[in-house]
């Protein structure tokens, strides 16, 4: 009869608990030393004038429907030197750019019909690396945030109008002021002339009365 001892020993080896890893206290130096690298966001020369959490949609003309572009933070950034304002939105986790375009003086933003937490605008967007005409819809968590975005967006667009237009407006206001001043001066001159004429008539009246009161000469 064959012996069963090897099988028994094998079973004992299987049932024996695995030995725990022992901490030898040895320190292993890293093979490659990683240095901290500064990451450029492209926003270093810009000042944020708006920063709000939101969800962005773009209108798909081919499918005739709205498609989600991403959820994250929308910013209005003003360049420190040129004064140009840029709208940038990145997804919250991946930081992928959802929207990236300049705010132009011709742009307008309007409230989404039926949803006072959303608004719409057209833009030539560069988020995909090439300019595309897009119709955007952005939705906020509150009505207040939506109104703040619309106000700041419109103010940014107004600030981008050429200085020549502002100069023309100032010149027009100056011309109106000048005309008003000339009209006022003309009126004052006419009043002064009238008063001078009345004063002259009053000084001549006593002489006339005296002549009327003189006795007639005898013949």
Would you say residue 57 has pLDDT above 90?
yes
Determine the average pLDDT of the residues in 163-189. 58
- Euclidean distance between CA atoms 140 and 16, whole angstroms: 61
Confidence bin at 34 (pLDDT 50/70/90): confident
Task: Give the integer Cα–Cα distance in Å for 138 and 57.
Answer: 6
Q: What's the pLDDT tens digit per position in 62-74?
A: 999 999 999 999 9
Least confident window among 68-82, 93-107, 152-166: 152-166
Cα–Cα distance for residue pair 193/56, rounded to 1 Å: 71
CA distances from 182 to 86, 170, 175, 187 (A): 45, 18, 10, 9
Q: Which band of pLDDT confidence, cut at 50, 70 and 90, is reported for residue 219?
A: very low
**Minimum mean pLDDT range among 48-62, 130-144, 192-206:** 192-206
Tell me, what's the pLDDT at 69? 95
Q: Are 139 and 147 in contact (CB under 8 A)?
A: no
In this predicted structure, what is the pLDDT of residue 35? 74
Yes or no: say if 98 and 56 are a contact pair by the CB < 8 Å rule: yes
pLDDT > 90 in the chain, percent: 53
Q: What pLDDT is attached to residue 41? A: 73
pTM for the model: 0.59
Phi, psi (rounded to 5 degrees) for 77? -115, 130
Q: What is the mean pLDDT of residues 53-82?
A: 96
| Residue 216 burial by Cβ neighbours in a 10 Å radius (0-12, 13-18, 19+) | exposed
Query: What is the spatial distance between Cα 98 and Cα 53, in angstroms, rounded to a whole number?
Result: 13
Q: How confident is the model at residue 44 (pLDDT cuts 50, 70, 90)?
A: confident
Task: Work out whether the CA dihedral 152, 156, 157, 161 comes out positive or negative.
Answer: positive
Residue 53 has pLDDT above 50, yes or no: yes
Give one word for 42, left, alpha or beta, with left for phi > 0 and alpha for psi -120 to 50.
left
């Amino acid at each position: 009869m064959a012996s069963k001892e090897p099988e028994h020993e094998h079973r004992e080896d299987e049932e024996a608990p695995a030995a725990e890893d022992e901490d030898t206290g040895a320190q292993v130096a890293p093979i490659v030393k990683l240095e901290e690298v500064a990451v450029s966001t492209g926003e270093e020369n810009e000042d944020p004038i708006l920063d709000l959490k939101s969800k962005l949609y773009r209108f798909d003309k081919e499918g005739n429907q709205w498609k989600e572009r991403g959820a994250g933070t929308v910013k209005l950034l003003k360049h420190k030197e040129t004064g140009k304002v840029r709208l940038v939105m990145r997804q919250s986790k991946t930081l992928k750019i959802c929207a990236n375009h300049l705010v132009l003086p011709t742009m307008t933003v309007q409230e989404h019909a039926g949803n006072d937490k959303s608004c719409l605008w057209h833009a030539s967007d560069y988020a995909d690396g090439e300019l595309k005409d897009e119709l955007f819809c952005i939705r906020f968590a509150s009505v207040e945030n939506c109104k703040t975005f619309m106000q700041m967006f419109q103010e940014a667009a107004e600030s981008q109008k050429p200085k020549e237009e502002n100069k023309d407006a100032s010149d027009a206001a100056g011309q109106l002021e000048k005309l008003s001043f000339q009209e006022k001066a003309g009126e004052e001159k006419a009043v002064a002339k009238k008063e001078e004429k009345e004063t002259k008539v009053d000084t001549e009246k006593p002489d006339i009365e005296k002549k009327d009161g003189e006795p007639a000469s005898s013949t």
